[in-house]
Amino acid sequence: FSPHYHCLKTFHFSVSLFTVNDIFPSCDTHPLDISLYHTARWELGLPEGIKEFITNDTLPFEANTDLSGGVSFSKGCYIGQELTARTHFTGVIRRRYVPIKILSTGNIDVLKTINVSNDLYNAPIYQVDETYQTLQSKLKPVGWIRNVNINNLITTTTTNNNSNHNANDDRFNIDHNPITGIALIRLTEASEPQHKLIVCISPHNNCNDNSNTIVLNITPYIPSWWPEDIAPIIKRIVYANK
Query: In sequence order, what are the residues at sequence separation of 6 or more whose Cβ sits closer than 8 angstroms to the Cβ of residue 176?
Result: 162, 164, 165
Share of the chain above pLDDT 90, in %: 21
**Environment class of 120 (CB within 10 Å of its CB; exposed 0-12, middle 13-18, buried 19+):** buried
Q: Is residue 64 a contact partner of residue 154, using CB atoms and an 8 Å limit?
A: no
Give pLDDT, residue 36: 87
Confidence class for position 227, pLDDT limits 50, 70, 90: very high
87: nearest Cα among 53, 56, 64: 64
Confidence class for position 160, pLDDT limits 50, 70, 90: very low
How many separate domains does the chain show?
1
- DSSP-H helix ranges across the chain: 20-23, 34-44, 49-52, 81-90, 108-111, 116-120, 156-160, 187-190
Give pLDDT, residue 46: 94
Q: Is residue 220 part of a domain?
A: yes
Q: Is residue 74 part of a domain?
A: no
Q: Is residue 28 part of a domain?
A: no
Its pTM stands at: 0.75
Phi, psi of 213 (to 5 degrees): -105, 130
Quote the domain boundaries for residue 224: 95-238
Question: What is the mean predicted confidence (pLDDT) over 221-225?
Answer: 92
> What tens digit of pLDDT does each residue of 105-143 get?
665 565 665 666 677 889 999 988 877 666 555 578 999
> What tens digit of pLDDT does each residue of 44-81 get?
999 999 999 998 888 888 999 888 888 877 776 776 77
Q: Is the pLDDT of residue 183 over 90?
A: yes
Q: What gap in Å lies between CA 109 and CA 128, rounded to an integer?
A: 25
Question: What is the mean predicted confidence (pLDDT) over 211-225?
Answer: 84
> What tens digit of pLDDT does each residue of 161-182 get?
343 444 445 555 555 567 789 9
150: nearest Cα among 178, 176, 175: 178
Give pLDDT, residue 105: 65
Q: Is residue 133 part of a domain?
A: yes
Q: Is residue 52 part of a domain?
A: no
Q: Is the pLDDT of residue 196 over 80?
A: yes
Give pLDDT, residue 187: 92
Q: Is the pLDDT of residue 9 over 50?
A: no
Question: What is the mean predicted confidence (pLDDT) over 102-107?
Answer: 70
Q: Is residue 205 part of a domain?
A: yes
Give pLDDT, residue 51: 92
Q: What gap in Å lies between CA 74 and CA 96, rounded to an integer?
A: 23
Give pLDDT, residue 29: 65
Q: Is residue 85 part of a domain?
A: no
Give pLDDT, residue 16: 55
Give pLDDT, residue 158: 42
Q: Is residue 98 a contact partner of residue 222, using CB atoms and an 8 Å limit?
A: yes
